[in-house]
Structure 1
Amino acid sequence: MRPPGPVADADGPSRSSQQETVRPVLLGASLKLYLDVDASVAWATSLAEIARAHPAVVAGDVRLFILPSLPALDRVITAVAGSPISVGAQDLFWAERGAYTGAVSGADLARLGCRYVEVGHAERRHVFGEDDAIIRRKLAAAVRNGLTPVLCVGEETQQEADLAGETCIAQIESAIADADDLDDLVVAYEPEWAIGQAEPAAPEHVTAVVAQLRSHLARRGLAGAAVIYGGSAKPGLLSTLSSGVDGLFLGRFAHEPQAFASIIDEAVGTHREGEEP
């Protein structure tokens, strides 16, 4: 993975020198197609101001990434330049060049300044007909172009955590099968039955599923992968989750900058243990 340098404490040694490694909290937000270009830029500008002023974000204890719509990418990247916010895309195509009308090249996304790209979201599966084979090719394209995949996994219907974990592990294995030299990955656990609902999945369910995913990733040599939760994630959720959950993948609840700011504040009080992603 690509960990940052040590984070120094004001009155002690760097965290990398402590016996226990503290993982940074990772907060991501997707705008989907809710905001137009101008509104996306205004949102990103407000968020950049919040990030520049927040000590935990500046120190790297809380990391932020945002995924605007594709037409807004260039202007959003400019709006957050110089701030501790990374930008990514909500989609990419599996090939860099060719006769693919309307496709988006991972090479072009990287050249624009994207670090992340979302792959495998339930809406891509159900609305656009993407299957496991397409998701596998897209994730490989992300890795090939130096982009960090934000791989969305999750069960369709509400079920026991053990079964949900098995479903998600199968989705992970399918998605990464063709990715050569995979060394940077974010897994977003998003149970489909919780997406767009008033409430997220229960904290104990999220914690149990994420524990299974973390254990599997460690066995696959991907212990440094970040595992975050999405699916109606909102303020007040992060503090109820175990330290094994690295952060949140936010949707509509982050479209108000002050709500996002409150989640950053909440993240400061959480404790994530293990290898840094």
Structure 2
Amino acid sequence: MSAATATAPLTIGVSLKMYFSHARTLEWAAAVADIARNHPAVQSGAVELFVIPTFPSLVPVGAVLEGTPVLLGAQDLAWADEGAFTGEVSGTELREIGVDLVEIAHAERRSLFHETDDEVAGKVHAAFRNHLRPLICVGETEQAADGGTTAAVAEVTAQLDRFVSTAVADRIAGPVIVAYEPVWAIGAPQPAPDAHIVAVLAGIEQHLATRPELAGSVVIYGGSAGPGLLTRGAGRIGGLFLGRFAHDPEAIRTILDEAEQLGARA
């Protein structure tokens, strides 16, 4: 375990992508807020919990979460802070409405909307300069034929370095959440093998320990994450980035119960 994550709580988050209607999003958020208000893992600080709804729901979801420790995230941001950028949302405005963190470089953004490394780096820079914590997604596209992890660690840490490069050059970088999501496991019936997950997360943490400008960062796993993974990881998994599994708020409670049993990472 690296110094970058040794004292961090478990970090658990959910992105709703574009699955819910506005009404269902608010209903879901209210249920999650109720769970967070009463769950000892959240209230004790053993778990840092965040939710990422769609842009139109950010303000009302923020109101629903008021009085809870749940962090509010956005699914994307523009690399510019203002100007003639039709359809974009700036980090300046996101911060103004109370957003805490922003998801950047998800594999869907990269594949469907052809985001380049330079565009991603610009978005990371925009997040930092607007005091939003970047949630940076990294992941290899293909599983190694031999099941090895060395190539995966090299690929995802190189991605991370490229994505933070502009912010680092301007000396505005800080803590990030690195969400490791092997592209070949996103939406799959099962997550990647446990040994693979643990090894790659450890490799990312070791890399972060060499980047003092990113001190305080945490590494979590996405890609069909679900119950039991934290327990099987035995303290070697810093958190989970949940998808469709968490569409049922009670599934989030299940993960929080599991996290409570593990306690904060020591």
Interval of TM-score (by shorter of Structure 1 and Structure 2): over 0.9
- % identical aligned pairs: 46
Correspondence 1:181 to 2:172? yes
Aligned partner of residue 231 in structure 2, secondary structure? helix
Which residue does the alignment assign to 1:96?
81
Correspondence 1:224 to 2:216? yes
1:194 pairs with one of 147, 160, 185:
185
| Count of aligned positions | 254
Give the aligned residue type for 1:58: Q
Correspondence 1:233 to 2:213? no
Give the aligned residue type for 2:138: V
Deviation at 1:262, TM superposition (A): 0.2
Q: What is the rounded CA distance, in whole Å, between the counterparts of 2:194 and 2:8 in structure 1? A: 20
Give the aligned residue type for 1:192: V
Correspondence 1:264 to 2:256? yes
1:70 pairs with one of 44, 52, 55:
55
Deviation at 1:244, TM superposition (A): 3.4
Correspondence 1:157 to 2:145? no
Relative to the length of structure 2, the TM-score reads 0.93
Deviation at 1:270, TM superposition (A): 2.1
Which residue does the alignment assign to 1:8?
none
Correspondence 1:172 to 2:160? yes
Q: What is the rounded CA distance, in whole Å, between the counterparts of 1:271 and 1:167 in structure 2? A: 31
Q: What is the rounded CA distance, in whole Å, between the counterparts of 2:233 and 2:140 in structure 1? A: 19
Instruction: Check whether the contact 2:175–2:215 (CA below 8 A) recurs between aligned residues.
Output: no
Relative to the length of structure 1, the TM-score reads 0.89
Aligned partner of residue 228 in structure 1, secondary structure? strand
Aligned partner of residue 28 in structure 1, secondary structure? strand
Aligned partner of residue 49 in structure 2, secondary structure? strand
Cα-to-partner distance string for 1:212-268 (whole Å, 9 max, x where unaligned):
100110011134211000000011211111423210000100110000100000111
Q: What is the rounded CA distance, in whole Å, between the counterparts of 2:103 and 2:84 in structure 1? A: 23
Which residue does the alignment assign to 1:137?
122
Aligned partner of residue 177 in structure 1, secondary structure? helix
Which protein has greater RCO, CA pairs closer than 8 Å, 6+ apart? 2
Aligned partner of residue 103 in structure 2, secondary structure? strand
Q: Which moved more, 1:262-271 or 1:206-215?
A: 262-271
Aligned partner of residue 183 in structure 1, secondary structure? coil
Instruction: Check whether the contact 1:246–1:272 (CA below 8 A) recurs between aligned residues.
Output: no
Aligned partner of residue 57 in structure 1, secondary structure? helix
Aligned partner of residue 32 in structure 1, secondary structure? coil
1:1-16 equivalent positions in 2, closer than 5 A? none
Which residue does the alignment assign to 1:34?
19
- Structure 2 gap segments, 5+ residues each: 1-5
